[in-house]
Structure 1
C-alpha cells in the first residue's frame, strides 16, 4: 500500500478545448484543479485554482479556450506565495510558461497534509481522528481549517462518500454499504 506522500500532490492531468460557448456542470469531490486557461485567438493565458465546492457548480466556458489542468489530491494545499509567482509567470506574454512547469512547482512545494487526511480516513469520526492525532477535537478543527480551508466534517463526509462509491463496484447491497461506512441507511 502506498501512502499519500508517496503518491504525490497531483492526482491527474487533463486537457480540454472549448470550441463553442457552453456550460459545464462540475460536481464537488474534494479536489482542487489548477488550470492554465489559454485564449486560442489572442494567446493570453491565466492561472485559475478551483475552489472546494460543497455543491454542484455550473461553469460557463466561452469558445476558443484551451484548458490544461492539474487535479490535486484531496487536502493538498498550495502556498499563496507560490500561486502568486505562478500567476505572474503564466500571465506574462513573453513567458511561454507551460502547464508542465506549473506541475513541477506544485509537486515540489505543495503541502500534502497527510497526517490530517490519514487521521480523518482512519478515525471514521472527527472524535476518532482527533484521538489518533492525540489532540482535542477543537484543535483538529482549527488545524484542518487553517491547513485545508475546510473543517474535519467536510473531509469526513468526502471520505465516506468516496468509500461508498468504491463499495458500489463490490458485490454488496446498499444497506451493507451504508453499514460499512457508518450510515444508518
Structure 2
C-alpha cells in the first residue's frame, strides 16, 4: 500500500467516524428536552424529600425519585443503544402529572399545611404553589407529547436525522 492510499484510507476512516458520531449525537439529542425535564423534576423531588424527611409526606417524593431513577437509567442507555420507546420515562412523567394533579387539589384543602410544611399557610402562598404546580403540569404535558412523537418517529429531530442520513447516502453514491 502506498503512502497516498494509506492517507486516503485514513481520511476516509476519520470521515466515517465523524459521520457515525454525528448520527449518534443527533439520535441522542432527540431526547434533550426529556433529559432536562427529568433532571429538573428529579431535583425538585429530591429537595422536597429532604425538606420533608421527618414526616410521612417524604413517601411521595421518594416514590417519584425511584421512578425517576429508572427513567434516568433508561435515558443514559440511549447513547449506546438507540431506541425510540422509553417505557420508564413515560411511566415517570405520567406519575409526576398525577402527583402534581393531587397536589393541586391539596392546595384547596387542609392537607396543604401537611404537604407543604415549609411554606406559610396563607392564601397568597397557596396561589403561588398552585401556579407552580400548573406550570409543572404544562411542562410535563409538553414532554409527554414529545415522547409520543418520538415513539412514532414524528418529531422534527427525526426528520432532520433522516435528511442527514440521506445526504450521507447521496454523498457516498457520487
Q: Shorter chain as normaliser: what TM range?
A: under 0.3
| Bigger helix fraction | 2
- The structure with the largest alpha-carbon Rg is 2
User: Which structure has the higher relative contact order (CA within 8 Å, separation 6+)?
Assistant: 2
TM-score (ref. length: structure 2)? 0.26
TM-score, reference length from structure 1: 0.25
